[in-house]
């Protein structure tokens, strides 16, 4: 099998040693190893080790191993795009909600992959369509956000559902979250948790001026479009961790992408267990 390895950076001796051990372990298991170009200089024994910048489907890759936190997994989307390559996150960050395999268990995790003891959690993606190019890659795993600039007053986000007026959000901004992203920024702004596979988006206002404006959930079969008004001549848009400033003249719309992100779940891992363990969901010391 062919394993590709990606990481933003190896910023400590511990992470560098883990990377070296991982490459060596895969080779000892008789697997083909490709590493992202920003890691290639860290490979000590470069014999039979290839490198890549992106994975476009021309090279058959069985698994992508993401070394880092959840932000690193978000970055893998722009590398694998619509190839469908399954991604396993080995957590070297803090929360590890998506990157659910701890560093100490990477060998066990890889052996499970080789034995086929895993499942695929297909995650909905959102796609941005705009009248002007905003991002180099316009697909996101977590969320799309419209936000005021740092020093400006609140903005009004006029929102349309399939071309019909839905609501005007007078707020600091608006979040459109996938089920995967519903446990991130949207949740911190009072949005609901959506289970993977729920075929829905959450629309969550950021610090709305009207107290009767609440987050809502819609089917992901809908197309959302927006018109932004405010005192400032610019506002911010972001997809996952990528952010750009644009003018109100740019037309923007959000819809479900026509492909999914395949996240690997090992045996014993599931969404509600992760919620309880990582986010203390439902934990009450009075009811152990």
- Beta-bridge partners for 158: 168, 227
Instruction: Determine contact, residues 118/34, Cβ cutoff 8 Å.
Output: no
Q: Which two tokens stand for residue 178?
A: 């996938």
Query: What's the confidence (pLDDT) of residue 95?
Result: 66
84-100 pLDDT, tens digit each: 999 999 988 676 778 88
Instruction: Determine contact, residues 230/148, Cβ cutoff 8 Å.
Output: yes
Q: Could you tell me how far CA 249 lies from the centroid of its own chain?
A: 28
Full-model pTM: 0.91
40-84 pLDDT, tens digit each: 888 877 788 899 998 987 678 999 999 988 899 999 999 999 999
Beta strands 49-52; 32-36: pairing state: parallel
User: Catalytic annotation on 240?
Assistant: no
Task: Give the Cα separation of 190 and 193 in Å (integer).
Answer: 9
Q: Give the start-end residues of each E strand in 79-125.
A: 87-91, 101-102, 118-123
- DSSP code per residue over 167-212: EEEEESEEEEE-TTGGGTHHHHTTPPP--TTS-EEEEEEES-SSTT
Report the SS3 class of residue 73.
helix
- Nearest to 257, CA basis, from 133, 100, 78, 65: 78
> Using N-to-C axis directions, what is the helix angle for 106-114 and 13-28, rounded to 10°?
30
- Beta-bridge partners for 252: 130, 226
Catalytic residue, candidates 70, 143, 220, 240: 70
Q: Write down the residue that tokens 């363990």 correspond to.
A: 277
Task: Give the Cα separation of 282 and 288 in Å (integer).
Answer: 10
Cα 74 to Cα 46, 48, 77, 89, 142, distances in angstroms: 28, 28, 6, 10, 8
Domains and CATH numbers, the chain: 2-123+260-279 (3.40.50.10330), 126-256 (2.60.200.30)
Q: Give the pLDDT means over successive 10-residue stretches in the chain (288 positions).
A: 90 84 93 92 83 83 93 93 94 77 90 94 96 95 93 89 97 96 94 94 95 94 95 92 92 97 87 74 75
Task: Give the Cα separation of 234 and 37 in Å (integer).
Answer: 36
Query: What's the confidence (pLDDT) of residue 92?
Result: 82
Neighbour tally for 6: CB within 10 Å: 24
């Amino acid at each position: 099998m062919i394993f590709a390895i990606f990481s933003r950076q190896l910023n400590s001796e511990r992470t560098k040693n883990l990377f070296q051990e991982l490459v060596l372990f895969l080779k000892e298991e008789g697997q083909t190893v490709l590493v992202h170009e920003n890691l290639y200089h860290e490979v000590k024994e470069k014999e039979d080790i290839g490198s890549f910048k992106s994975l476009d489907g021309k090279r058959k890759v069985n698994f992508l191993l993401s070394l880092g936190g959840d932000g690193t997994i978000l970055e893998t989307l722009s590398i694998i795009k619509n190839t469908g390559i399954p991604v396993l996150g080995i957590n070297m960050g803090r929360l590890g909600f998506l990157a659910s395999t701890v560093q100490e268990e990477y060998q066990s995790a890889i052996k499970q992959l080789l034995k086929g003891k895993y499942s695929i959690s297909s995650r909905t993606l959102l796609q941005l369509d705009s009248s002007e190019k905003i991002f180099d890659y316009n697909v996101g795993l977590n969320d799309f956000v419209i936000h005021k600039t740092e020093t400006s007053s609140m903005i009004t986000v006029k929102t349309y559902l399939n071309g019909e007026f839905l609501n005007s959000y007078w707020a600091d901004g608006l979040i459109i979250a996938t089920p995967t992203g519903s446990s991130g920024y949207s949740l911190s702004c009072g949005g609901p948790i959506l289970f993977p596979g729920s075929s829905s988006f959450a629309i969550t206002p950021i610090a709305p001026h009207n107290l009767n404006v609440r987050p809502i959930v819609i089917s992901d079969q809908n197309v959302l479009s927006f018109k932004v008004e405010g005192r400032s001549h610019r506002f911010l848009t972001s997809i996952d961790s990528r952010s750009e400033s644009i003018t109100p003249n740019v037309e923007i719309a959000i819809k479900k992408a026509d492909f999914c992100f395949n996240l690997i779940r090992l045996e014993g891992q599931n969404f509600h267990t992760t919620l309880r363990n990582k986010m203390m969901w439902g934990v009450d010391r009075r009811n152990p």
